[in-house]
Amino acid sequence: MAEQLRLMAVHAHPDDESSKGAATTARYVAEGVEVLVATCTGGERGSVLNPKLDRPEIWANIAEIRRAEMDAARAILGVEQAWLGFVDSGLPEGDPLPPLPEGCFALQDLAVAAGPLVRLIREFRPHVITTYDEDGGYPHPDHIMTHKVSVAAFEAAGDPTRYPELGAPWQPLKLYYDIGFSHGKALALHGAMLAAGLESPYTERLEWLKERPDKGPRITTRVNCAEYFPVRDDALRAHATQVDPDGFWFQVPMEIQRQAWPTEDFELARSLVETDRPESDLFAGIRGTEHAR
């Protein structure tokens, strides 16, 4: 049987698939891998982060707009995409923090919340799943819940005694956590901007990172995908309500990005196949084996 590799990326909101691991997914799509993005919520409680679109009519239709933005980004990346159907929890702010809204994703019972993802895994049959680590990449309640649901579904999908009503068992072989920013990456980009005589947008971020553990030592897998950084940026801009086109994410020239840090980075959290570390391919240990079917 011909090799057909499949990758599933599990994200909390529409736009996360374009800001986290997007160049990697675009690279794999170009190589013929089937890629499915699973979006846990509709992003209904997201802010309008583009000042040019911060208008009452946008807020009034934010759920529909975010779905349309997701359609545009999906087409740019070339991925398939499925909604898991949960409601955005919002990002609580204040001191003390307000309670999360009733019925939101982060308050779901984990066994119940994992069900839709188990069903999707059994339908799509991914070899590899990517998601967030235990703090969600940053501590948004939906990101943390996405981590919990992804781990639970990874472990349950291959067990015929669990969720028997949700399809034939399928066991994914590898689970990765996206490591979006390590201290080393921020320092490399910051240094490259200064070396080019440009003002670095990372000055404040480096101060913020000093207060957080460095995830660099957790990186096991670096996927060279610099060729697809422009695709990533186009997909991110498609989420027009969620990103300022003149903002932080687009302040480092493309050539500097490609030279200073040409990879997207991941931590291999679970593996049912043997693989040597460090890796340069999410399908290491799968590609070219009997598993790749």
The predicted pLDDT at position 242 comes to 94
Tell me which residue has tokens 């919002």: 90
Q: Measured between alpha carbons, how far is 144 from 118 in angstroms, rounded to an integer?
A: 18
Q: Rg of the chain's alpha carbons, rounded to an integer?
A: 19
- Domain of 137, CATH number, reads 3.40.50.10320
Closest CA to 88 of 149, 128, 132, 143: 143
Output DSSP code: residue 259.
H
Specify the 3-state DSSP secondary structure of 107: helix
Does residue 200 sit in the same domain as residue 68?
no
Same domain? For 101 and 190 the reply is no
89 and 137 part of one domain = yes
Q: One digit per residue, pLDDT tens: the chain, 293 residues? A: 468 999 999 999 999 999 999 999 999 999 999 999 999 999 999 888 899 998 888 888 999 999 999 999 999 999 999 999 999 999 988 888 899 999 999 999 999 999 999 999 999 999 999 999 999 988 899 999 999 999 999 999 999 999 999 999 999 999 999 999 899 999 999 999 999 999 999 998 888 888 889 999 999 999 999 999 999 999 999 999 999 999 888 999 999 999 999 999 999 999 999 999 999 999 999 998 887 77
Task: Provide the number of structural domains found in the chain.
Answer: 2
Please indicate, yes or no, if residue 227 is contained in any of the structural domains: yes
Residues 229 and 189 in one domain: no
Strands 80-86 and 128-131, by their bridges, are unpaired
DSSP state of 40: E
In angstroms, rounded to a whole number, what is the distance separating the alpha carbons of residues 146 and 155?
14
**Which pLDDT does position 211 carry in this prediction?**
85
CB atoms within 10 A of CB 124: 19
Q: Is there a contact between 178 and 137 (Cβ–Cβ < 8 Å)?
A: yes
Q: Is residue 173 domain-shared with residue 244, that is, in the same domain? A: yes
Indicate whether 47 and 69 sit together in one domain: yes
Q: Are residues 132 and 54 in the same domain?
A: yes
Q: Is 41 exposed, middle or buried (0-12, 13-18, 19+ CB in 10 A)?
A: buried
Task: Check whether residue 192 and residue 233 sit in a common domain.
Answer: no
Q: Which residues are part of a known binding site?
A: 13, 16, 143
Checking DSSP bridges between strand 263-271 and strand 221-224, what pairing results, if any?
antiparallel
Shared domain for 262 and 245, answered yes or no, is yes
Is 293 part of any domain?
no
**Whole domain around residue 173: which residue ranges?**
6-180+217-271
Mark whether 79 and 192 lie in a shared domain.
Answer: no
Cite the annotated binding site for Zn(2+) by residue number: 13, 16, 143
- What pLDDT is recorded for position 60? 85
Supply the pTM of this predicted model.
Answer: 0.96
Query: Closest Cα partner for 133 from 143, 141, 122?
Result: 143
Contact 70, 39 (CB under 8 A): yes
